[in-house]
Structure 1
Amino acid sequence: MKKIVKTIKWLMITIISILIVAVLWIRFSRFTDTMIYKTNGLTYDSFQTEYTHQEYYYEIDKNVKIHAVLFKPDSTTAPIGTIIHYSGKGIHLMSSQKYYKSILDKGFQVFSFERRNFGKSTGTADNSVQLKKDALYVFDKITKHKDVVDTPIIIWGQSLGGAFAIMNAAERQEKINGLIVEGTFSSFPDIGKVYANALHMENFKAFVPLLMNNDFPAEKEIKKIKKPVLVIHSHNDEQVPYKLGEKLYESSNKDNTEFWKIKGKHIKALFDYEKEYIDKFLEMINN
């Protein structure tokens, strides 16, 4: 009997040890980072647009170039403001343009870029820390541009891009007028639990946060922001649950943050509430 108990004890120790090693390997190999930013080859040969624009390639290092575009309003007057847009996971610059027409028509210019290994950007998107550095590098570059430097700046993030937008706003809030995020989650571990089936852990959701690095802790970063913030979330959002947008808002500073609860599909508010949405941008540059 003692021999059986001893065997069971060592078996349990072995299983637990294997689980700990597996968790540590997943965390430190950044396996989940690769899954988060995987885009299944969403690239294209040449950039095309009907809008007036300036195209850029920022050379981060020898093998990494970040593709970016500054979309300009069709006007002889200077832009009334600059919106720096962080789009959703699978939305590159060929597809993000559908969001810009009403914004450009109002007189704003819009700047956006494609993260590594996406669109026309090169490199490997397998490390959140590096992608964070890329975002801040590109932000610092464009905000020194002669057409941007004297304009009010709003950071705008949608879905996954909202995590980047909140980080950027927290790190560079002295350079911006405000932040708008739509359909954004409170943290990667939180959204990871929603998509636990992607890790084949739908029955072990509580363990997902142990596997994920949280280099974009939106609910912590948003607390740091003192400039005007608008959190937009649809009660019908089927991709990022409403409760995660609500949790993000609850973590914010209520003195400078507004929560706009809407109805509709994921990150479609600009089409469903065009006038109200544009008015939110105008309010921020006029504060």
Structure 2
Amino acid sequence: MFNVAILGFGTVGSGVYEVIKENNALLKQKTGEDIAVKKILDIRDFPGSEWESLVVHDIKEIIEDNDIDAVVETMGGTSPAFEFVRDALLSGKHVTTSNKALVAAHGTELLKIAKEKNVNFFFEASVGGGIPIIRTLTESYAGEHFKEITGILNGTTNYILTKMDAEGEDFEKALSTAQELGYAERNPEADVKGHDTCRKIAILASLATGKEVNFEEIYTEGITKIDTTDFEYAKHMKLSIKLFGDSKFEDGMLYAFVAPVMVERDHPLYMVNDVFNGIMVEGNMLGK
């Protein structure tokens, strides 16, 4: 039996629970293990729910449980997520997370602890949605010298820009639609001001260079100043506007930025629309 603990039981945490429950037979077929959720950390009790008996309120009940093999962190933010993840790794448990803020701020340190303890620290879902970019960079392209990584890394802003481009909506109307559909948070600042994309390109740049990249040092400009006039000019020039996170590697130096850019029709990311992400990697041997 392979036992899992989930930290935080909101939308993401409950989704992890459902995947393990509904796809349990498939997971066993592919891993050779019976996988079960043994404990759930949350401040709520969930009385009457099927997982009520699994809920704990003290992280120590998970850290000190030697029967728990892996921890899935779905809390978000950097604290106490960092402390909880660090302690889980130190206790010899595997950890997986989609928390980009955590990985951008503490990823290098957590990877070092995981290596020392001979456990895994996985964060594939922290960048690019369902695009398997983390393993691509670290495993498939392990022998590559990277020249540039460029991406549309935020589905919310890409949806807004797509609406502005295709339907002529202004920024506020497109944002409102995104919020109604659940694509944008009630407070969309992290998305529309580029902070989310900034953290993600910092993670990718760190993996490409093998060094910690401080996201706070990356020039970041969001899409709040883009208006319909910008798209009129873009269409006249047969271009589109996308929010790019970009990192270039030249002569041992890293140059990175986040900003809306004009994109030509023959660019690989031109056709990435709606809520979708897209990432372009250029290496010294494989090209783009």
When the two structures are superposed, what TM-score results if normalisation uses the length of structure 1? Answer: 0.30
